[in-house]
Structure 1
């Protein structure tokens, strides 16, 4: 992995500016690593990995962070790296920590890109997401808003940045029902969004069975490096994916055992122990949620 990096100050709040470091993980491919935290006033929603890829003609931004302020910090990082314009803003899925920064790129010439199912998913959740952000950030949420994609991916789409092509792939329901990956042919880098969690515990919001199945297909991809939606830049591949798959399979197996024993949802969730997710950060916040989501899906098997 290339080690080039530059540090900058991100959005200021209460007179204090947050650092917004960007690493050049491969030539022309820049990544900012989000924090392993819940969205708060202290972090302004800077909890997801975001970044951009520079071509000879223009730039593609991949995910934009959890608030307008984070999107503005990302836009500033783009300007520091290159004078080429942003032509695409690609959202890997619907979750607010990946899309609320879109507002920083609206009003220009950039096309907003997402899975064909993303507009409906965003529209159904926009009010809830915006209320949640206002509660978490207070006044710092001002200006953050949902920007829906205007260029949709039904299956695969190839984008030309000028001498550099990106291949976008839509996946069956897994982490969500609108997951999209971005493959940079020039560097062999696969940007996975939240189809891969590294260090931070995976969060099921689509289909646990679907996610396990998509994971098996992703494992077959021949890539030089991967960028997860959360976690380290270019974690070991496919070891990072295998760790996630083991966790998801463990949750599915424990829920199936509870169902076979006639356990109710409440009994199953109450018996779920975050210690079973040993090694994953934020397990206390998400393990029981994952058990709940798995129960709701698997009880209909």
Structure 2
């Protein structure tokens, strides 16, 4: 398989460049790929303010992300349980796609354009159907910054009613942080996308004889969480409303998250795809470690408040009993304790 690439460089620093995949030009031969480029040459202005010092060319396709078929037509890539770094390019969250009769929907896109390109190649290795939709389960950068290839290919971006504003407000912070963590050259071309369809309650996506239901939730993990249910198989993509092994990250409402989890556990599902960890968890028992962690976080926070502890002292002990159960505990637990303390002190 051959694919088209365009070298993009930082406008003010021609020494920082990256070969960027141009989705939609895939072909079995180099000549066919070149013919497709000649017939519909890409407009470099679409990548502004990045500069394209040369023309698009065709080459053998680079490696695709590994994905697991967890149910017929439902594929998941399990991200590394790590912080974003040059070695993983921001591939630190779970992503997936569902193949319908007429098109494909992608659920989350990873933490850089490079990761999104790997997911695109995984899709193309399994179907040539168009990618009609990209559903972003929430605003966090490790789930949204790889959207570029899917937007370039014409996918409709779907998310929570507050997602567009939330990403816009945090855009520069996300870009600066991930460029620093991953490296500016490897991160080149990554960005947050515009949201085309903001979901207030729920919406249905018809992929051709296959329907996905996207449901918006009240503030929980964040204020912008949605889930995606494949009605054919009963698989539920939960985004970061469900964590596995990776320490949960609280960026919304502790009480809200506990309430949403209770509702989700009462929902029938053949399996759940968490935002981090295993490709598929049994349901509802797959949520039990997260429920325990959030309950401990709440109980310890209330005990600290009742005991008159100051925030700086409280974060050192809240949920400490959970340390051995989770990876990246030091990176997230103190932050969670701070959010919980701030929320619960006004009960």
What is the TM-score when the length of structure 2 is the normalising length? 0.80
Structure 2, unmatched stretches of 5+, are 1-17, 20-61
Tell me how far apart the structure 1 counterparts of residues 230 and 322 of structure 2 sit (CA, whole Å). 36
The yes-or-no answer on 1:91 pairing with 2:129 is no
Aligned pairs for 1:83-162 within 5 A:
83-138=128-183, 139-162=185-208
Q: Show the counterpart of 2:46.
A: none
Give the C-alpha shift of residue 70 in structure 1: 0.2
1:143-167 CA distance string (max 9 Å, x none):
0001021111110101100000000
Aligned pairs for 1:270-281 within 5 A:
270-272=316-318, 274-281=320-327
Q: Show the counterpart of 1:3.
A: none
Structure 1 outlier segments of 4+, above 6 Å: none
Aligned pairs for 1:1-301 within 5 A:
20-138=65-183, 139-272=185-318, 274-301=320-347
Tell me how far apart the structure 2 counterparts of residues 276 and 68 of structure 1 sit (CA, whole Å). 34
Give the C-alpha shift of residue 39 in structure 1: 0.2
Tell me how far apart the structure 1 counterparts of residues 321 and 88 of structure 2 sit (CA, whole Å). 27
Tell me how far apart the structure 1 counterparts of residues 245 and 286 of structure 2 sit (CA, whole Å). 9
1:222-281 CA distance string (max 9 Å, x none):
111111111112223222212101110101110111111111111111334745332111
1:267-301 CA distance string (max 9 Å, x none):
11133474533211111211111111101111111
Say whether the 8 Å CA contact 1:156–1:169 is kept in structure 2: yes
1:113-138 CA distance string (max 9 Å, x none):
00101011101110100000111011
For the pair shown, the structure with the greater C-alpha radius of gyration is 2
Q: Show the counterpart of 2:10.
A: none
Say whether the 8 Å CA contact 1:274–1:288 is kept in structure 2: no
Aligned length: 287
Say whether the 8 Å CA contact 1:160–1:166 is kept in structure 2: yes
Q: Name whichever of 100-109 and 275-284 sits farther off.
A: 275-284
Structure 1, unmatched stretches of 5+, are 1-10
